[in-house]
Structure 1
Amino acid sequence: ILNGVHTASTPVALLAGVEYVKDFVEDERFTAMLSSLVHDEIVPAFSDDSDAHKYGDDVLERFRNPALEHAFRSIALNSIAKATHASALHWKTISGFSESCPPCSQVASLP
Structure 2
Amino acid sequence: MVEGYLKCFEKEISQTDATGNLEIPRDALHLPDAMEDRQIMLVWHNGTIWRFRAPVRGDGTGRRYMTCQWRQFARDNSLMHHDVVELYRSTFIENFFVVTFERALRALPLFPGAPL
* Interval containing the TM-score (normalised by the shorter chain): under 0.3
Higher share of residues assigned strand:
2
TM-score in terms of structure 2 length:
0.27
TM-score in terms of structure 1 length:
0.27
Rg (Cα) greater in structure: 1
Higher share of residues assigned helix:
1
